Structures are given as C-alpha cells and as structure tokens.
Structure 1
Amino acid sequence: MATTDSSFNGLTEYCKECDLDTLHEVNVQIRTESLKKENAQFSREPYRVTECQRCGTRSSQRMNNA
C-alpha cells in the first residue's frame, strides 16, 4: 500500500527492482493509444506513471480498462 511522505512530493511504494519500499514520484499522463490520425481524439486514456527515486525504474498502468 502506498503511503505519503511529507519530506518530498511523492509516495512510498514497493519497488520490484530494489525489493524495498522506496520513495516514488507519481503522476498521471494522458496517452493517445490509436495510431490512426482520425481516431486519435477518441483514444486518449489516463495512465498512472511511477518512478522509483532510488533506482530510477519507471512503470505505468492504464487507469481505465473500459
């Protein structure tokens, strides 16, 4: 489970690479999934993106599985 850390604008989460709970920078990105230009405006989805502040490993997860 993620916890807040008041010393930095981030969350403490488990990192698979470090095998520890480490500080992560977390943000949400809107990504276009369609490669077709005419459908691009209808294919934007939110992704939760995390980066471990210890080892730099990044991961992303689609937030809307419609």
Structure 2
Amino acid sequence: MDTRPGQLFENCPTCERETAHSVSIELRQERIVGGRTKYAKEPYRVSVCDSCGETEHLRMNDR
C-alpha cells in the first residue's frame, strides 16, 4: 500500500470497508457562551475518504 503524506487507511461507514483517507488538522473559531462574547480557536481532525468523499470532523479537545 503506497501512501502519501497526510493519507491514512481508515474504516469508511459509507464504503463499508477500509479505504484511503486524506487527514488534516484545522483550527475552527468557536463562540464561548458566557457573560461577554468571546471566541476560541479549537483544533479539529478532518478525515476525507478518497473513494467516496465522505467527510468526518472530530473536535480534538473532546478526546
């Protein structure tokens, strides 16, 4: 199995098998609910199936 940087083999629920995925980390701005309006940047793991395009976003700080 040849892979390129940022590519992993993971289970895809749409394809119902293990496929190559392009994986990256992105920072998303989120609003913090409270007295004053504040925003925080949170890291998300983004995984895109190279076969069907199914995309999964996972907030890293929830792990």
Shorter chain as normaliser: what TM range? 0.7 to 0.9
Q: Structure 2 stretches of 5 or more lacking a match?
A: none
Counterpart for residue 4 of structure 2: 8
More strand by share: 2
Using the aligned pairs only, state the percent identity: 34
Note the residue ranges of structure 1 that are not aligned, 5 or more in a row.
Answer: none
1:56 aligns with 2:53: yes
Q: CA deviation at 1:61?
A: 0.3
| Separation in structure 1 between the aligned mates of residue 42 and residue 19 of structure 2, nearest angstrom | 27
Q: Give the counterpart letter for 2:27 in structure 1.
A: I
Greater share of residues in helix = 1
Structure 2 counterpart of 1:59, one-letter code: E
TM-score computed with the length of structure 2 as normaliser: 0.80
What's the TM-score once normalised by structure 1's chain length?
Answer: 0.77
